[in-house]
């Protein structure tokens, strides 16, 4: 039996591989924007939205692969509201300016689906405080990292130059990267999908 990762995230693939977890990648093929809109109508908060999207992806992956499937999602909460990924460099600049000198939360949700139903789930949160970086730093950061940040929630990769944006981080490193590994590895070991 092989774990299926219902995600197109390069970071999640890399983290699983580095942890020694054999897996296959099968992007879930869902309309995430439409799903988010539907969940917003249900008035799900950012943390619950991450969990609901992770389950949706895991169910979609399981329907295609018919084996244990991991769905993942991460949301960013700022001042009680959901913040989406920036679609352009200008919106990325605006988003980082908005977060500068302030605190936000990342919610990373994982759901395992077996036999068509969720059998394990976990949502971890991290609290991140950005430093009051200068406009000059922001422009240099965007010039160096810019295109690599497209599709990155919050506009940073903590495992790279993005760490320079922060004063303080409370929470698990893997949660910030979008794949809280410790609980997941325990769940996978109990299913024979990770080394004992």
Answer yes or no: is 196 within a domain. Answer: no
Q: Mean of the per-residue pLDDT values for the chain?
A: 94
pLDDT of residue 149: 84
- Check residue 37 and give its pLDDT: 87
Whether the per-residue pLDDT at 143 is higher than 90: the answer is yes
Residue 33, in any domain of the structure: yes
Q: Which residue range is the domain that position 27 belongs to?
A: 3-190
In a domain, 130, yes or no: yes
With 0-12 / 13-18 / 19 or more C-beta atoms within 10 angstroms meaning exposed / middle / buried, residue 166 is middle
How far from 48 is each of 1, 43, 137, 172, CA to CA, in Å? Answer: 30, 9, 34, 19
pLDDT at 2 over 90: no
The tens digit of pLDDT for each residue in 43-90 reads 999 999 999 999 999 999 999 999 999 999 999 999 999 999 998 899
Q: What is the pLDDT of residue 1?
A: 72
Q: What is the pLDDT of residue 152?
A: 85
Amino acid 24: pLDDT: 96
pLDDT of residue 22: 95
The total number of structural domains that make up the chain: 1
Is 195 inside a domain boundary? no
pLDDT in tens, 88-138: 899 999 999 999 999 999 999 999 999 999 999 999 999 999 999 999 999
Q: Identify which of 19-33, 109-123, 134-148 has the greatest average pLDDT.
A: 109-123
pLDDT of residue 5: 98
pLDDT-based confidence at residue 146 (cuts at 50, 70, 90) = confident
Query: What is the CATH number for 91?
Result: 3.90.950.10
Report the catalytic residues.
73
Please indicate, yes or no, if residue 23 is contained in any of the structural domains: yes
At residue 8, the pLDDT reads 87
């Amino acid at each position: 039996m092989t774990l299926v990762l219902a995600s197109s995230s390069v970071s999640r693939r890399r983290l699983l591989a580095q942890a020694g977890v054999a897996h296959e990648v099968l992007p879930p093929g869902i309309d995430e924007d439409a799903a988010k809109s539907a969940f917003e109508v249900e008035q799900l908060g950012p943390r619950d939205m991450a969990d609901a999207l992770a389950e949706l992806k895991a169910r979609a992956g399981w329907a295609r692969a018919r084996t244990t499937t991991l769905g993942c999602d991460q949301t960013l909460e700022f001042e009680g509201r959901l913040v989406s990924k920036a679609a352009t460099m200008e919106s990325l600049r605006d988003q980082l300016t908005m977060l500068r000198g302030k605190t936000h939360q990342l919610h990373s949700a994982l759901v395992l689906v077996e036999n068509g139903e969720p059998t394990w789930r976990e949502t971890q949160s991290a609290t991140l405080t950005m430093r009051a970086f200068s406009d000059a730093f922001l422009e240099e950061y965007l010039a160096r990292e810019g295109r690599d940040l497209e599709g990155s929630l919050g506009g940073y990769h903590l495992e790279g130059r993005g760490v320079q944006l922060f004063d303080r981080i409370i929470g698990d490193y893997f949660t910030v990267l979008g794949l809280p590994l410790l609980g997941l590895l325990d769940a996978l070991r109990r299913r024979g999908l990770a080394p004992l």
